[in-house]
C-alpha cells in the first residue's frame, strides 16, 4: 500500500490546490484498457481505452454527478471506484491510502468504505434470497456482528430506506421496482460506508418512483453525511442531487465543476449539447430555443480521433483540434474544462455559441 506522498497526483493544469478541504476520495490518472483481438488468423491486438486518465475528487457528504452518453466509460469508471474492476493504472486514494492496486486484504478494508448500488434492482438481488438475507449478506460475510445483531441491523436499515420490517421475509419478485432499489440501497448502507457509487440507480424505475428514490438518497446524505458518486445520463436528476458534476466523453472528463456552473454556464461544447437535450417543460420556450444537436456517433474507444476526442462531432471544431488534445484547465468560476476554445464558447446553456472570431466561424462552415 502506497502512502499518498509517494504518489504524484496529477493535478489539473494550474495546481488545483485552492480547495479548502482535502477531498475524501481522490482519483488520479485512472485508466482502464481492454485488449481486444480481431481477426481469426491474423490476430491484431487493439487496446480499447475505456477510461483514459480520469481525475476526480469526492468531497465528504457531497454528491458528485457523473454524466455522459452510453459507452463513454462512466460505468467502467464506477466499477473501478468500487474496485470491482481493477484499474490498468492510476490511483484511488482514500484516507491517505492508495487502493488503486490493492491486495485482496486491503480490498476488504476498502469495501467497508466504498459500496455500490446497481442499475437493475431486480438483477442485483439474488432471486432465491429473501430481502433480509440480501441486506444482511455483507454483515454475515464480514462477520461484523452476531446474527442477532445482524437481524436488528437489517430492520433498522430497512426502516432507514422506508421499507416495512415484514418485508424481510419476502423474495425480490414480490417487490415493486422502487422497493427493490431501496433494498439495494439498504444493502449498500449495511457496512456504513463513506462513499456509495450509484450506477444509474433510477434509470430502471418509473418517474414517480424515481423521485422517491432520489429524495431518499438526499435524506440519507443529510442524516449520515455519506458521499455519493451518482452516475447517470438523466441530467435533471443529476442537477437535483449533485453538488459537483463531471462530464465524461470517450473515457475522459471533458468538464467538471460545481453543479450550478455546469448547468448555468457550461464551457465545453459537449456539455452544452447534453444540456440542450433536456426538454423545457414550456412549449413556447421549447419552440423558441435553438437546438444544439450532436450529429454522428460516439467514436470507437479502440480507435479514438487524434487530438481532441470530441472534434469529430464538435460544432466549433478547428484544424488545431486535430493536432493537440486539450487538457483539463481551470476556469475562472471554479470549474475545469478540456477545450481549446472554452473561453470563446462561453454562452447561455443550450443555445449556440456566439462567435466573435470570423476565422473560427469559417472553419465550421467548411
Partner 1 sequence: MATAGIALRRSGAWVETVKDLRTSTAGRFFSNRSNQIAVLFIGPVVVLALIAQWLPIQEPLEINIVDRFQSPSLGHPFGTDGLGRDLLSRTLAGLRLSLWIGFAAAMIALTLGVIIGTMAGFMGRGVDRAISVVTDVMLSFPTLLLVIGVVAVMGPGVTQIIIAIAVADTPRAIRLQRSLAMGLRSRPYMDAARLASAPTRWILVRHVIPNTIAPMIVVATLYASNAIQAEAALSFLGLGIVPPEPSLGNLVADGRNYLQNAWWISTIPGLCIAIVAIGLHFLSDGVRDFLDPRQRS
Minimum distance from residue 261 beta carbon to partner 1 (Å):
33
Minimum distance from residue 114 beta carbon to partner 1 (Å):
9
- Positive or negative: CA dihedral 125, 130, 132, 138: negative
Minimum distance from residue 352 beta carbon to partner 1 (Å):
41
Minimum distance from residue 345 beta carbon to partner 1 (Å):
39
Minimum distance from residue 49 beta carbon to partner 1 (Å):
22
Nearer to partner 1, 137 or 329 (CB): 137
Nearer to partner 1, 11 or 106 (CB): 106
Pull the grid cell for residue 69. Answer: 452518453
Pull the grid cell for residue 119. Answer: 442499475
**CA-to-CA distance for 336 and 326, rounded, in angstroms?**
11
Return the SS3 of 31.
Answer: strand
Return the SS3 of 153.
Answer: helix
Nearer to partner 1, 184 or 335 (CB): 184
Nearer to partner 1, 147 or 361 (CB): 147
- In this structure, what are the phi and psi dihedrals at residue 8, rounded to the nearest 5 degrees? -90, 105
- In this structure, what are the phi and psi dihedrals at residue 6, rounded to the nearest 5 degrees? -70, -25
Minimum distance from residue 140 beta carbon to partner 1 (Å):
7
Nearer to partner 1, 127 or 279 (CB): 127
Nearer to partner 1, 133 or 327 (CB): 133
For partner 1, the binding residues (CB under 8 A) are: 82, 84, 107-108, 111, 115-116, 118-120, 123-130, 132-134, 136-138, 140-142, 147-148, 150-151, 154, 168-169, 171, 173, 184, 187, 191
Nearer to partner 1, 84 or 302 (CB): 84
Within 8 A by CB and 6+ apart from 345, the residues are 267, 268, 269, 272, 316, 339, 353
- In this structure, what are the phi and psi dihedrals at residue 91, rounded to the nearest 5 degrees? -120, 145
Q: Are 243 and 59 in contact (CB under 8 A)?
A: yes
Minimum distance from residue 116 beta carbon to partner 1 (Å):
6
Question: Within a 13 Å sphere around the CA of 160, how many CA atoms are in the beta-carbon half?
Answer: 23
In angstroms, the Cα distances linking 6 to 19, 31, 138 are 21, 19, 32
Amino acid at each position: 500500500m502506497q502512502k499518498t506522498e509517494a504518489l504524484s497526483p496529477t493535478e489539473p493544469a494550474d495546481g488545483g490546490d485552492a480547495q479548502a478541504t482535502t477531498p475524501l476520495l481522490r482519483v488520479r490518472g485512472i485508466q482502464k484498457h481492454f485488449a481486444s483481438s480481431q481477426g481469426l488468423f491474423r490476430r491484431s491486438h487493439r487496446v480499447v481505452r475505456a477510461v483514459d486518465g480520469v481525475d476526480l475528487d469526492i468531497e465528504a457528504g457531497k454528491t458528485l454527478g457523473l454524466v455522459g452518453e452510453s459507452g463513454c466509460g462512466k460505468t467502467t469508471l464506477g466499477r473501478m471506484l468500487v474496485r470491482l474492476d481493477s484499474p490498468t493504472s492510476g490511483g484511488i486514494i482514500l484516507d491517505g491510502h492508495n487502493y488503486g492496486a490493492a491486495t485482496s486484504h486491503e480490498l476488504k478494508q476498502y469495501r467497508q468504505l466504498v459500496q455500490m448500488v446497481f442499475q437493475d434492482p431486480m438483477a442485483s438481488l439474488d432471486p432465491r434470497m429473501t430481502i433480509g438475507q440480501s441486506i444482511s449478506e455483507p454483515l454475515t460475510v464480514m462477520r461484523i456482528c452476531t446474527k442477532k445483531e445482524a437481524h436488528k441491523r437489517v430492520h433498522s436499515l430497512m426502516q432507514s430506506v422506508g421499507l416495512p420490517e415484514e418485508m424481510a421475509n419476502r423474495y425480490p419478485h414480490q417487490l415493486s421496482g422502487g422497493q427493490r432499489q431501496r433494498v439495494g440501497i439498504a444493502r449498500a448502507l449495511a457496512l456504513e460506508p463513506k462513499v456509495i457509487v450509484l450506477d444509474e440507480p433510477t434509470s430502471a424505475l418509473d418517474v414517480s418512483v424515481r423521485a422517491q428514490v432520489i429524495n431518499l438518497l438526499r435524506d440519507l446524505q443529510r442524516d449520515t453525511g455519506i458521499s455519493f458518486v451518482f452516475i447517470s445520463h438523466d441530467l435533471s436528476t443529476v442537477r437535483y442531487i449533485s453538488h459537483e458534476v463531471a462530464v465524461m466523453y470517450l473515457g475522459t472528463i471533458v468538464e467538471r465543476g460545481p453543479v450550478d456552473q455546469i448547468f448555468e454556464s457550461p464551457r465545453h461544447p459537449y456539455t452544452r449539447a447534453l444540456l440542450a437535450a433536456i426538454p423545457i417543460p414550456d412549449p413556447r420556450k421549447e419552440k423558441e430555443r435553438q437546438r444544439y444537436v450532436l450529429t454522428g456517433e460516439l467514436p470507437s474507444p479502440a480507435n479514438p480521433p487524434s487530438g481532441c476526442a470530441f472534434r469529430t462531432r464538435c460544432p466549433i471544431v478547428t484544424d488545431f483540434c486535430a493536432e493537440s488534445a486539450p487538457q483539463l484547465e481551470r476556469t475562472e468560476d471554479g470549474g475545469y474544462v478540456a477545450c481549446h476554445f472554452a473561453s470563446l464558447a462561453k454562452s447561455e446553456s443550450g443555445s449556440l455559441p456566439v462567435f466573435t472570431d470570423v476565422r473560427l466561424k469559417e472553419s465550421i462552415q467548411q
